[in-house]
A = this chain, B = another copy of it.
Amino acid sequence: MTDPAPAALPSPPYYAVVFTSVRTAGDDGFQETDERLMKLAAEQPGFLGVDAAAGADGLGIVVSYWKDEESIAAWRDHAEHALAREYGREHWYASYALHVAKVERAHRFAT
């Protein structure tokens, strides 16, 4: 395991999908599906990187980065992703918000 670091990304412009969610109690297959989908997303054309954090209060944020709108749409329509999303609305999430945003500028800092 490596130390955590913000995803390494190319220069803008590219897209960010910000997924902010509040989990229901219990796992109900979430961890396994989440890991599987993270792996699958990383294999998709146009995927650039992902950062994720979840606090003890149940609120989690996943920011995935994509080359363009087309790659985001293709991942949205991926059968396994669509199925998990449907299951998630019924079992895993009390609430969520999804934002699709065009990254105009970015900078990094590292010690």
Contacts and interface: CB of A to CB of B under 8 A. Distances in A.
A105 B109 contact: no
Given A22-B3, A59-B4, A109-B93, A102 B99 contact: no
Q: Give the size range of A's interface with the partner.
A: 35 or more
B61 A51 contact: yes
A47 B98 CA distance: 19
Secondary structure of the A contact surface, majority rule: strand
Residue of A5, A24, A106 with highest tally of chain B CB at under 10 A: A5
Given A51-B59, A63-B63, A96 B6 contact: yes
A40 interface: no
Contacts of A109: 89, 93, 95-97
- Shortest 10 CB-CB contacts between residues of A and residues of B: A101-B101, A6-B97, A95-B110, A4-B59, A6-B20, A53-B53, A101-B103, A53-B55, A61-B61, A53-B61
5 contacts: A5-B22, A53-B53, A53-B59, A96-B108, A96-B109
